[in-house]
Amino acid sequence: MAKDNNKEVKELLNAGVHFGHLTRKWNPNMAPYIYMERNGIHIINLYKTAAKIQEAGEALKKIAASGRKILFVATKKQAKDIVAEKAKSVNMPYITERWPGGMLTNFVTIRKAVKKMATIDRMKQDGTFMTLSKKERLQVDRLRAKLEKNLGSIGEMSRLPAALFVVDTTREHIAVAEAIKLNIPIFAMVDTNCDPRVIDYIIPSNDDASKSIDKIMTAVADAVKEGLSERKAGKESAEKAKAEKQAPVETKQTEEAAPEKEEVAATKEAPVKEAAPVKEETAAKEETAAPKKAPAKKAATAKKAPAKKAAAKKAVKEEVKEEEATKEEK
């Protein structure tokens, strides 16, 4: 661990991170981070710088892993290109031109300007741009170029950033003041002439040399990359877990469906097998029906018997009457 720390300190030393400002320009609040004074220049304690880089890196990693944005701010000549390159590599917004006043505190208005840029692009795609006069087209093009220069890098930033990374806090004092007003955490490269009290995560370092800026920005970009890769890995694992959860449900459904199919098949087979018992049942019904018919016949014969008796009585009476009639004639 100590070897790694020494190696890191040596790399910082080679990059010239230890050089501070002239002693007469110093800020007394930076005293804890100053190692010594040499040739009228303060020397920064690189062991403290290494520790602070690690601390800031951990915090930036967490912010990146949560999916929020970090706004990088550097308008000085030496830092512009380096900051723009590193911010692009991690897909984060950055300001390398003039800081637009109210960029954070009046974000709604800044967002409108960004939207205006999008509407101009839409006009060019639709063909409505060509319906304008030549003078109007030139004016729109100039406006688009101006907006692109100042706000092009924050085009994808739809809400306030979760953190601000600043190179040289004395130069970017407006950005720092706005972030403090909105309680946005500030990460900054702080030189011996800056006030560290207003900064949440200090990285005491030389903010004038391009080598030094490149070294610190590389460490910061690596921390953000780690956070983003963690987020990606987390998403993938969550998707896998979802897929695994869905798979048992599907297998259960198939298992439930299998017995249902078997039941359906059994019900289809059952009528075929039950056909024989049905025939037996019909035979039994016929047998039961036969004895039922016999009593019916008996009942019919029973009904016919009294009718026959009545007819016989009538016939007897008629015969008796005829006999009486014949006797009277005699």
Look at the chain and report how many structural domains it folds into. 1
Asked if the structure places residue 138 within a domain, the reply is yes
> For 188, how many CA atoms within 13 A lie in the half-sphere containing its CB?
26
In a domain, 223, yes or no: yes
Q: Name beta bridge partners: 71.
A: 164
pLDDT for residue 294 is more than 90: no
**Angle between helix 210-329 and 46-65 (nearest 10):** 20
Instruction: Round to whole Å and give the CA distance between 189 and 126.
Output: 45
pLDDT tens per residue across span 37-67: 888 899 999 999 999 999 999 999 999 999 8
153 or 283, greater pLDDT: 153
The answer to the question of residue 42 being in a domain is: yes
| Side chain identity at residue 243, one-letter code | A
121 inside domain: yes
More confident residue, 284 or 161: 161
Q: What is the pLDDT of residue 179?
A: 94
Q: Which residue has the higher pLDDT, 282 or 29?
A: 29
Lowest mean pLDDT across 83-97, 152-166, 261-275? 261-275
Instruction: Give CA–CA dist 167/190, Å, rounded.
Output: 7
Q: Is residue 75 part of a domain?
A: yes
Tokens of 165: 């990374």
Cα torsion at 55, 56, 58, 61 (round to 10°)? Answer: 180
Bridge partners for 38 per DSSP: 41
Which of helix, strand or coil describes residue 21?
strand
DSSP state of 91: T
CATH code, 226: 3.40.50.10490
Tell whether 296 is covered by a domain: no
Is residue 307 a part of any domain in this protein? no
Whole-number Cα distances in Å, 320 to 41, 112, 225, 306, 312: 170, 134, 137, 21, 12
The yes-or-no verdict on residue 250 having pLDDT over 90 is no
Cβ contact 6:202 at 8 Å: no
Would you say 204 and 45 are in contact if contact means Cβ atoms under 8 Å apart? Answer: yes
Mean pLDDT of 164-174: 92
Q: Domain containing 47: what range?
A: 2-240
Query: Residue 203 forms beta bridges with which residues?
Result: 189
List, in sequence order, every beta strand (DSSP E) within 100-252.
163-167, 186-190, 201-204
pLDDT at 12: 86
When pLDDT is averaged across residues 319-328 and rounded to a whole number, the result is 58
The alpha carbon of residue 274 and the mean position of all alpha carbons in its chain are separated, in whole angstroms, by: 58
Residue 272: inside a domain? no
Q: How far apart are CA 11 and CA 9, in angstroms?
A: 5
